[in-house]
Amino acid sequence: MTYTPKRWIRLGLGAALLGTAGLSACGGEGGETGETAIASTAGAAQSGDMAGEMGEGEGGEGAVAPLDPALLVPVDQRAAMIASEAAVGAALSRAGERDAAAEHFRLAISEIKPGGLSRLAEKGLDPDLFDAAAEALEDGAGPLETETAVAAVETNVDELQANAGGDTVELIIFLMKRCENAYRSGVTFSNEIDNPVAYQKAWGYAVTAQELANKLDPEEASGLQLELKMLVLMWPAEGPVSGDVPAPPSTFLSQLSRIGLELSTLE
């Protein structure tokens, strides 16, 4: 197997993950916040770019002007995050967990307001569809009405991602970082689900990464496609449903490491 040094450095996978004894019960899920075993030099460079964008404020030379964090995340990455939340909402809705599903449809939109919303709307995002799906779930709408609302969100997400574009491999790297962060926040050292929402988010990131990988040429990405499939199989077939017993932390980290090895071979 041939490794791409640039990609390997950006990933920060492999040895760092295999050397992690377990998952933190109190780590942040946010992806832009908290320390993660997949944090890399690319993350540090991104922070520097963010500081440069913020520039000098009105308070005087050297002052840093406040800037909405939503503006600092590229549209393609934000679209992938929304797709991940929508995937969780759809899976939980079909599993009969209506309240949890509604929460993720609302999180998909609330987490990107206000700064990133207009940019995403330009790419096709329709926030009203997410609200409609959440309301159908919360108000006890019938199965047909609920499924119609959920399917409308999925169609909108497909359109959004197509318009947002982005480098597929880079988006998978981004989602794997967030997946690891979410798992850290959701699962304790004793292998129990401490934060169900974060644990559900981790599944969403994994599934969205798998869907992106399946669009790559199988001749080049068959290994990555297989390893992402194995990652998703750590959750039940229905998705991150309640009552699930999470995969052991060591197993989860080892699988992320294998995904990192495969990603490092792709240009």
Element at 240 (helix H, strand E): none
CA distances from 247 to 49, 87, 199, 234, 250 (A): 36, 20, 11, 6, 8
Please provide the size of the chain in residues.
Answer: 267
Per-residue confidence in pLDDT tens, the chain, 267 aa: 444 444 444 455 433 443 333 333 333 454 433 333 333 333 333 333 333 333 333 344 455 545 555 567 899 999 999 999 999 999 999 999 999 999 999 999 987 765 667 889 999 999 999 999 999 999 999 999 999 999 999 999 999 999 999 999 999 999 999 999 999 899 988 889 999 999 999 999 999 999 999 999 999 999 999 999 999 999 999 999 998 889 888 899 899 999 999 999 986
Q: How far apart are CA 35 and CA 32, in angstroms?
A: 9
pTM over 0.85, yes/no: no
